[in-house]
Amino acid sequence: MEHVTVQGVEVPAVGLGTWQLTGEECYETVSAALELGYRHVDTAQMYENEAQVGRAVADSDVDRDDVWITTKVTPGNARRADVVESTEESLERLGTDYVDLLLLHWPNPLVSFRDTARGMAELRDDGRIRHAGVSNFRRWRLRRAREKSTVPILADQVRFHPFYTHGALREYCAKVDTMLTAYSPLAHGGLLDDPVLAEIGERYDKTPVQVALRWVTGFENVATVPKTTSREHLRQNIEVFDFELTDDERDRISRPSYLKSAGLFLRNEMGI
């Protein structure tokens, strides 16, 4: 498994997203992923599946220290005391003494991130989290959070895929040595039948999904957490490091005219 390295920390470049996975389906999917070689699992308080994620990790043959676990604090728990209390509850559900990365799931405009960061710093100092970060923060908000934070911000997790490139944010993250974690890297299935990705994939005997994931992971500071319940797709999603896209192919995938061709998809996805 390839890694993203930021702030001297190595993070598996492809992880498993667990949004909308619950119950035994979540447990079985995480278990299969770990068996296939995944070492990065993403969950959240809001997903209501931390217990299933933790049970799958505990039941696997993989040592806990070899699995990168990310969870997220809901915006309603953004105040310092609530960050600490809710994270302790997350750790209990996960059945672990620590998480590798704790994110604030969404900005809370009613709570200063300075207060959130104090809670994260307390958790880090006590060894209950190893790193802190944010999710769904645009560039200006991430910049302000970094200015206010008493703990280094390792990552910003955002929607990121060839139809939604977050270029300015990604460049800023690279500049300040922060990881951008891409969720929904397959555009909620909108990339499955994309002709450009299919054409490029034929050259490498890869699926459009694998080409899209290789495009995403081709940025040095970007990791990704695609979600799937299919064992075959789980396998395919980590088999993306045995080929390299050319500069021309990367340009074709992200060129402005290509993005314009995806305009209808974007309007539907964003509700505009």
Q: Would you please indicate which residues are annotated as catalytic (active-site) residues?
A: 47
Give the C-alpha separation, 135 to 73, whole Å.
10
Give the C-alpha separation, 195 to 152, whole Å.
41
Strand-pair partners of 101: 70, 131
